[in-house]
Amino acid sequence: MTIDTGGAAVADGEVATQRVRLSRAAVDSLAAVAGVASPADELLTRTPAPPGAGRLGGAPATPPAEAMVDDVLERAGLLAAGAATAAARAVLTTWHAPSLAVDLEVLVDLARGRARLRSHHRCLGDRVACLSTADGASLELGWLPLGRWGAELARAARVDLDTLRTAPPFGPTPDVVETPWDLLLATGEAVRAGRRDLLDRMVADHPATTLAGRRPDLLDDADVDDVRRWHEQLESTSRGRLHGALTGRGTRGGVAGVVEWVLLPDGWSSLTPVIRDDWEMVRLQRVGPQDLPRALARLAAGMAA
């Protein structure tokens, strides 16, 4: 199983990406008509969504009344004469029997509150089904060909940096930084506690362990003052995170791989565990939305190997 990583143009005749905004009641009703569990049950949790509407699944002005549910599903091409259409059955089959699944959660601190996006993707053969929400009430159901999955995954990671909560002044950071995991965790706690003295001591206790550069294969020892500043900035200017979990049939219900990103004022950086000279390190590398399908594709390839 592969994930398209470039969002390349789709050949003529291939089904285009379809998206429809539905209420929770509409999704539940469609599943009930088809005689299967509702996909919304898996996506939604009891945890209340933070304030703020997102791009995907943003709340409509007024939720549709129950009497309008069938009409909404019919206009979406998912219901006809009281029965699920072929398109609806394909979406639900893909959802409930996928060969590959990706669950994404994006949390972003905005100037006007915190936004939380949950977007679950299911792949079966050459079909992909997606269900997303930013508020738990309004959902976006999408179905698309495999060749467009990369672009759909990248869509979930797009954030307007101008809408973020204002961050304290920060300086430039290299494209790639490798630093010990324990140092990253400890300095984060020190910054949150306002203990700058501990921050200085921790960095001094890890001399010549942090590397930086333009690429993972072109790294040099970092200056201690830069290391201190980078660690402090990572904690004080962080404005969000992205968590992606990939599973497949061969994982027997377990997670095959995880993608973790942190959102800084100038964009996303990935957090990747690495081992260097028997040290448990973390690599922070500048990334963009287009890198999300690539990262997941590498995990999928490793699962298939």
- Token couple for 134: 């930013």
Q: How confident is the model over 107-112, as a mean pLDDT?
A: 95
- Token couple for 1: 């199983």
Percent of the chain with pLDDT over 70: 85
Tell me how far the alpha carbon of residue 58 is from its chain's centroid: 17
Residue 305: predicted pLDDT: 62
Instruction: Tell me the pLDDT tens digit for each residue of 1-18.
Output: 444 444 333 343 455 789
Query: What does the alpha-carbon distance between residue 189 and residue 24 come to, in Å, rounded to a whole number?
Result: 39
Helices 196-204 + 181-192 axis angle, to 10: 160
Percent of the chain with pLDDT over 90: 75
- pLDDT at residue 66 tops 70: no
Residue 169: predicted pLDDT: 87
State the pTM of this model. 0.86
More confident residue, 216 or 169: 216
Contact by Cβ (8 Å): 267, 164: no
Place 221 in a pLDDT band, splitting at 50, 70 and 90: very high
Residue 212: predicted pLDDT: 97
- pLDDT at residue 196 tops 90: no
Instruction: Tell me the pLDDT tens digit for each residue of 233-287.
Output: 999 999 999 999 999 876 555 667 999 999 999 999 999 999 998 889 999 999 9
Instruction: Tell me the pLDDT tens digit for each residue of 32-49.
Output: 999 999 999 999 864 444
